[in-house]
Structure 1
Amino acid sequence: MEPRLTMTMKRSLAQHVQEHSSIYTFTVVLLMMGIVFGAVIVNSLSLMQKQDLFHYLNRFFGQVSEGDMASAAAMFAQSFFHYLKYMGLIWLLGLSIIGVPVILVLLFLKGMVVGFTVGFLVNQMGWQGFLLSFVSVLPQNLILIPAFVLVTTAAVAISMTLIKAQFSNRMKTPLMPLLFRYTMTVVIIMILVACASFIEAFLSPSLIKTTIGIFN
């Protein structure tokens, strides 16, 4: 029974990716553009802005190395609630026929934040910044980036379906099953995001502390 269920899920996933391959391609390219744009923005900052940001960054890393931070449980709750609101907004925009541009902007901004964070660390700290970004940014984003691509693609696909239903009389596919599958997809993605928040709250601070200890 379990292998049959696994095969069914794999076939459904393969069919989904094939049907929406163009949207997946566009969202991945858009996310990568956001990452590159975020890294490039670092070079446009003034010296004063870089110094201010680096000052706050040093304070943060100092608090991490000294263990002077909120509890891991509190950090997990804060992180997960942040992503819950972000993806909840994308889910809601997917249910409207005018939400596609905003959904794509949110994905671009996500990529820009990642690119800016890594770019700033490398720009200010060289290879040490690269290692810090590797342990502080990469672990959770190995889950978050695919999750954002998935939820964005699902939201754009359902929004385009609603647009077709609005302006085409030949749309015979029942919308309620589609909306249910869309909502369940977002719920499953949020479970993955919870794993990313767990890594961000419980694993990343330890990795950062260990890395700073190596530098010192």
Structure 2
Amino acid sequence: MQFFRQTLKDQTPLYVFVAVLFLVGVLFGALMVNALSLEQQQDMARHLNHFFISVQDSGETMMQSSYWSIAGLHLKWIGLIWILGLSVIGLPGILILDFLKGVLIGFTVGYLVGQYSWTGLLFALVSIAPQNLVIIPMLMMCSVAAISFSLYIIRNRFLMHRGGSMVRPLASYALITLCMVVLALSISSFETWVTPAMMQWVTPMLL
């Protein structure tokens, strides 16, 4: 526990930077909604209506069967960040992923609110907000750990302490990522069994 506290304290500037980058992505995604043409808005509205109908009509068994697809998506995101953090050239890719995550959330929420007003906001609150309250900090921790390890490689392999041991930093990096994997598997359970039930409660207001 002391290790995690000290790590969090040392990496506070990186957390601030990643959080700001994510928020800029959210804002950019929300602004993208206004750039959609009328035809694009109509196409998206049709797809959303079909989605709402499928959510309303789908049974509990269908929702439960999607656990591994949901967990797999989170694990792929974590895995990609992990791989990018193992190399210096992967550093910009980590930042791009954080920005892209913000864009996706900002666009989705912005479109729902713009298209469906307060009912769209309610749907976003039950379908997007709960799990992302955990997923976003989780991905931020993965990103900061990856950035820190990448910066360690730059400092100790290319700048000054050439030949320094990589075992302890790599073990710390792997431990943090493993903890985030366990957390991702846990939140996927909520997203599989609880979120669909809340979505089914809201979708009649949108149809």
The equivalent residue for 1:96 is: 87
* Shift in Å, 1:135: 0.4
CA change 1:33–1:69 in 2 (3 A) is: farther
Give the counterpart letter for 1:130 in structure 2: L
Give the counterpart letter for 1:112 in structure 2: V
TM-score (ref. length: structure 1): 0.90
The equivalent residue for 1:206 is: 197
The equivalent residue for 1:189 is: 180
The equivalent residue for 2:49 is: 58
Q: Deviations over 1:174-206 (max 9, x none)?
A: 311110110111111011111222122111111
Superposition map of 1:126-205 within 5 A:
126-170=117-161, 174-205=165-196
- Structure 1 gaps, min length 5: 1-8
How many equivalent pairs are there? 207
* Shift in Å, 1:100: 0.8
2:75, 2:181 within 8 Å by CA — same for their partners in 1? Answer: yes
- Structure 2 gaps, min length 5: none
Give the counterpart letter for 1:150 in structure 2: M
1:41 to 12, 26, 32: 32
Percent identity among equivalent residues? Answer: 35
Give the counterpart letter for 1:107 in structure 2: D
Q: Distance in 1 between matches of 2:200 and 2:55?
A: 6
1:141, 1:196 within 8 Å by CA — same for their partners in 2? Answer: no
1:63, 1:69 within 8 Å by CA — same for their partners in 2? Answer: no
Give the counterpart letter for 2:28 in structure 1: F
Give the counterpart letter for 1:77 in structure 2: W
* Shift in Å, 1:212: 2.4
Q: Distance in 2 between matches of 1:51 and 1:68?
A: 28
* Shift in Å, 1:173: 5.3
* Shift in Å, 1:72: 2.8
* Shift in Å, 1:215: 6.1
The equivalent residue for 1:124 is: 115
The equivalent residue for 1:15 is: 6
* Shift in Å, 1:65: 0.8
Q: Distance in 2 between matches of 1:30 and 1:124?
A: 26
